[in-house]
Amino acid sequence: MDPFSHYMFAWLIGRRLSLGEGSLKLFLVVTLLPDFDMASLIFGFQAAADFHGTVTHSAFVALPLGALASIILARVLRVGVLRALKYGVLAIATHLSLDLFNLGMYLEKGQFLWPVYLRSLTVRYILGIPLQFSLVIYLTIFFLMFIAMLYFWRKNDPLWRIWFELSRAEG
């Protein structure tokens, strides 16, 4: 999935959970954490294509990194550590769950159980879905996220508001 869909999905979950400002910021940042592997773009597009969706998307790597980031962000955002860990783990689970629906143009991606199980665990790979149908699923999810963004923007509650407003009480 793309970062926009991850962010929007996490934002919708955070709204549903009625997270306070600090918890929501933590949740949004940690949700995007597995995609930091895209920094490999500095070594070229092929390096990013080869690396993205592998190691940092493994539950065995992403969950400890998410927990560590949550503890650090708990201090920065003044959120309780246990609350931060709870929402950090949920954020990683949210990211990996949404990535189950990746296009999987490279079928070896989606190694969510690396290094124990090296094969892809995307829906496309498991069910043998053709790329075209996988693209329809992906675009449907993206479109629904976009419609949700427009809906909340129209309601004067855009998804970027949390980053540009004065603090609200933590909940």
In a domain? residue 69:
yes
In a domain? residue 169:
no
Domain that holds residue 98: 3-163
Global confidence as pTM = 0.85
**b/e sequence 159-171, b meaning 16+ C-beta within 10 Å:** beebeeeeeeeee
3 state SS for 125-136: HHHCCCHHHHHH
Distance CA 17, CA 25 (A): 13
In a domain? residue 139:
yes
127 in Cβ contact with 27 (< 8 Å)? no
Model pLDDT for residues 68-124, shown as the tens digit of each residue? 999 999 999 999 999 999 999 999 999 999 888 887 655 567 778 888 887 778 888
In a domain? residue 171:
no
In a domain? residue 7:
yes
Model pLDDT for residues 1-58, shown as the tens digit of each residue? 788 889 999 999 999 999 999 999 999 999 999 988 877 778 888 877 777 777 888 8
